[in-house]
């Protein structure tokens, strides 16, 4: 299968991209690593008039600390973040999640922001961003705006990114002292789409449990550490609230059971570590 | 900035296995097709063409990537290394190839270029891997003949040989 025909812009600067989006907006599609988009192009599930390659924009190739957040520019690959020397201390949840993303070769090319933009409900990075309560930086004709993650991802493969703007960075809150993190994923094969993926972060007051692969976007359950007596009921309610469906990979019932059982395991693991 | 027009063929220059070469590609041409049809480097095999099987893996600027998920025009100016670059100058087998040969790590050979180019990058980042490390690193390559046991054995042998020589 081959991609459809499209005009292409190899952008060198953020200005190149915004100028092109202003002209072609809804008909244009951004490509960075293309590890989801290229497969969709090859299968002709998307047919853009113009493809804008942002992978050469050197201004967007950075990982930096900015206040309480770690900001990651749009051309940083998943492998670059995986090999970032401060990852384990600054973003321990991502250190646990990244090895589950695709494979060695796709992480070498796929970008962190690209995965956030693609917003696949079973993807590890959108789940991690939602669990940590991060945000997304968009650049458009009127400059930059920053959206909290729950305002950014609006559903399956859909986001609040407008036709004349594009994601230039993503911000993950850095780990604070006393926080603990865990990640677990169930997939048919390693590197395959998650049937259910779970992420958890806890401090001495709160536990946040994120679940991907069940609803149309990652969902987060917040629990006070004082509310653990009825944990089973809370997890059961959470599992039902996700509206799981049957598909070729797993039944809805199996997915709910994974949320209940693995959710409990993860919550206990991070809570014990944090207390 | 000018757009690359969809029906025009645009010059793409790459350093292929250390040699400067040039070909032409429309914006929608895959790097895998560019290597095979434009540059004649048919050692790179195309399997699924949507990033699942790993057969088309090449190295771009040193990194193992899927050439079916890479547009040729995106590779302009970059260094591309393929299976053709793994043999020795005199035409004899390189270390990785020799290890695959000795350990019966291929039968039909269709997937082999992808395994070798992946390992060529991976063993540079982890020269002393465990079998589990290798299973993880090679999880993005499919082989329907061998059952993988021989491939892991060959990769362990190649890693040992590379350590001895470094």
Chain A: residue whose CA lies nearest to B32: A2
Please give the residue of chain A at the shortest CA–CA distance from B139. A103
Q: Is residue B2 part of a domain?
A: no
Among A53, A72, A88, the domain-final residue is A53
Q: How far B161 CA lies from chain A's nearest CA (Å)?
A: 23
> B80 and B34 in one domain?
yes
In the predicted structure, residue A42 carries a pLDDT above the cut 90: yes
A vs B: CB pairs below 8 A? 113
pLDDT in tens, B60-91: 999 999 999 999 999 999 999 999 999 998 99
Cα Rg of chain A, angstroms: 19
**Whether A4 contacts chain B with CB within 8 A:** yes
Average pLDDT, integer, range A60-78:
98
Would the CB atoms of A43 and B50 count as touching at under 8 Å?
yes
Indicate whether B121 and B78 sit together in one domain. no
**Are residues A150 and A68 part of one domain?**
yes
B58 domain residue, yes or no: yes
Work out how many domains chain A is built from and give that number: 3
Do residues B80 and B101 both lie within one domain?
A: no
pLDDT at A190: 81
pLDDT at site A193: 87
**Domain end: A153, A173, A193, which one?**
A173
Chain A contact present for B63, CB below 8 A: yes
Encode pLDDT of B133-151 as tens digits.
999 999 999 999 999 999 9
pLDDT of A192 reads 84
Listed residues B84, B103, B132: the one ending a domain: B84
Does residue A2 lie in a domain region? no
Q: Give the pLDDT band (50/70/90) at residue A189.
A: confident
Last residue of one domain, picked from the residues B47, B62, B84? B84
Token digits for A233?
A: 């009921």
pLDDT in tens, A195-217: 999 999 999 899 999 999 999 99
Of residues B66, B27, B122, the one with CA closest to residue A36: B66
Query: Does B116 share its domain with B70?
Result: no
What contacts A23, CB < 8 A, 6 or more positions away? none
pLDDT band at A181 (very low <50, low <70, confident <90, very high): very high
Q: pTM for the complete prediction? A: 0.96
Domain contains B156: yes
Q: Nearest C-alpha of chain A: how many angstroms from B118?
A: 7
Mean pLDDT score across all residues of chain A: 96
User: Is residue A115 pLDDT above 90, yes or no?
Assistant: yes
pLDDT value at position A69? 98
Q: What's the whole-number mean pLDDT along residues A229-252?
A: 94
Residue in the block written with tokens 């087998």: B93
User: Does residue A129 sit in the same domain as residue A221?
Assistant: no
> In this structure, are A137 and A219 located in the same domain?
no
Tell me which residue has tokens 């493809």: A51
A34–B70 CB contact, under 8 Å: yes
User: What does each C-alpha distance from A94 to A100, A139, A148, A183, A253 come to in angstroms?
Assistant: 10, 25, 18, 9, 28
Please judge whether A38 and B140 are an interchain contact, meaning their C-beta atoms are less than 8 angstroms apart. Answer: no
CATH number at residue A160: 3.30.465.10
Given this model, what pLDDT does residue A130 score? 98
Q: At B120, which CATH number?
A: 1.10.150.120
Residues A168 and A194 in one domain: no
Domain assignment present for A247 = yes
Residue B1 lies in a domain: no
Q: Please give the tally of structural domains in chain B.
A: 2
Domain ranges, residue B159: 95-165
Residues A166 and A84 in one domain: yes
**Interface contact A103-B30, CB threshold 8 A:** no
Residues of chain B contacting A109 with CB distance shorter than 8 Å: 63, 65-66, 69-70
Mean pLDDT calculated for residue range A119-123: 95
Distance CA A268, CA A90 (A): 22
Q: Average pLDDT for residues A146-155, to the nearest whole number?
A: 96
Task: Write out the H or E segment, with its range, that includes residue A24.
Answer: helix A14-24
Whether residue A159 sits in one domain with residue A69: yes
Identify whether A1 is part of a domain.
no
Residues A206 and A120 in one domain: no
Q: How far apart are the first and last CA of chain B?
A: 46
ipTM of the complex: 0.95
Q: Which residue of B has its CA nearest to A77?
A: B63
| A7 touching chain B per CB within 8 A | yes
Q: What is the residue range of A47's domain?
A: 7-53
Q: Are residues A242 and A138 in the same domain?
A: no
The verdict on B118 touching A (C-beta cutoff 8 Å) is yes
CB contact under 8 A, B140 and A105: yes
Same domain? For A41 and A72 the reply is: no
User: CA-CA distance, A173 to A68, in Å (whole number)?
Assistant: 6
- What percent of chain A clears pLDDT 70, i.e. is strictly above it? 100
Do A29 and A115 reside in the same domain of the chain? Answer: no
Rounded to 10 deg, the angle between the B95-102 and B149-165 helix axes is 140
Q: Does B149 fall in a domain?
A: yes
On chain B, the residues whose CB falls within 8 A of the CB of A31 are 71, 74
Res. B1: pLDDT tops 80: no
The CA–CA distances, whole Å, from B64 to A178, B60, B140, B157 equal 38, 7, 11, 20
- CATH code, domain with B75: 3.10.20.30
Check whether residue B48 and residue B78 sit in a common domain: yes
pLDDT of residue B140: 95
Distance CA B150, CA B101 (A): 10
**CATH code of residue A189:** 3.30.390.50
Which of A3, A19, A105 is opposite residue B66, by nearest beta carbon?
A: A105
- Does the beta-carbon distance from B54 to A105 stay under 8 Å? yes
- Residue B130 in domain: yes
Same structural domain, B17 and B53: yes
A7 vs B69: CB contact, 8 Å cut-off?
Answer: no
Is B56 part of any domain?
yes
Pair B54, B112 in one domain: no
Q: What residue in B sits closest to A107 (Cα-Cα)?
A: B65
Tell me, yes or no, whether A158 lies in a domain: yes
pLDDT for B111:
98
Q: How far apart are the C-alpha atoms of B135 and B147, rounded to whole Å? A: 12
């Amino acid at each position: 299968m081959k991609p459809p025909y499209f005009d292409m812009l190899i952008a060198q600067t953020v200005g190149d991209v915004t100028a092109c989006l202003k002209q072609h907006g809804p008909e244009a599609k951004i490509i960075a690593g293309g590890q989801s988009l290229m497969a969709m192009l090859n299968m002709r599930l998307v047919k853009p008039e113009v493809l804008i390659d942002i992978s050469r924009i050197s201004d967007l190739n950075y990982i930096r600390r900015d206040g309480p957040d770690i900001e990651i520019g749009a051309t940083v690959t998943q492998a670059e973040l995986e090999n970032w020397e401060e990852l384990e201390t600054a973003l321990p949840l991502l250190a646990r999640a990244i090895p589950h993303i695709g494979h060695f070769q796709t992480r070498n090319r796929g970008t962190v922001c690209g995965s956030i933009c693609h917003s696949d409900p079973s993807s590890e990075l959108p789940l991690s961003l939602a669990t940590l309560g991060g945000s997304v930086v968009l650049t458009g004709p009127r400059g930059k705006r920053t959206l909290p993650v729950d305002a950014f991802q609006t559903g399956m493969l859909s986001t609040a990114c407008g036709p004349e703007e594009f994601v230039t960075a993503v911000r993950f809150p850095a780990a604070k002292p006393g926080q603990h993190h865990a990640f677990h994923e169930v997939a048919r094969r390693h590197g395959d789409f998650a049937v259910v993926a779970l992420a958890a972060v806890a401090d001495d007051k709160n536990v946040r449990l994120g679940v991907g692969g069940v609803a149309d976007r990652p969902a987060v359950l917040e629990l006070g550490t004082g509310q653990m007596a009825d944990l089973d009921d809370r997890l059961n309610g959470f599992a039902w609230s996700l509206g799981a469906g049957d598909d070729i990979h797993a039944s809805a019932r199996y997915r709910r059971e994974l949320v209940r059982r693995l959710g409990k395991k993860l919550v206990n693991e991070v809570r014990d570590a944090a207390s | 900035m000018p757009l690359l027009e969809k029906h025009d063929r645009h010059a793409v220059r790459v350093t292929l296995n250390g040699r400067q070469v040039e070909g032409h590609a429309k914006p929608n041409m895959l790097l895998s097709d560019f290597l095979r049809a434009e540059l004649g480097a048919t050692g790179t095999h195309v399997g699924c063409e949507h990033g699942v099987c790993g057969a088309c893996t090449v190295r771009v600027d040193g990194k193992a990537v899927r050439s079916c998920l890479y547009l040729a025009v995106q590779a302009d100016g970059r260094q591309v290394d393929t299976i053709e670059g793994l043999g020795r100058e005199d035409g004899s087998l390189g270390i990785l190839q020799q290890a695959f040969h000795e350990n019966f790590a291929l039968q039909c050979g269709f997937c082999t270029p992808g395994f070798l180019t992946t390992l060529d990058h991976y063993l540079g980042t982890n020269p002393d891997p465990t079998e589990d490390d290798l299973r993880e690193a090679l999880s993005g390559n499919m082989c329907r003949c061998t059952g993988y046991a021989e491939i892991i054995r060959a990769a362990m042998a190649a890693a040992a040989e590379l350590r001895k020589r470094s």
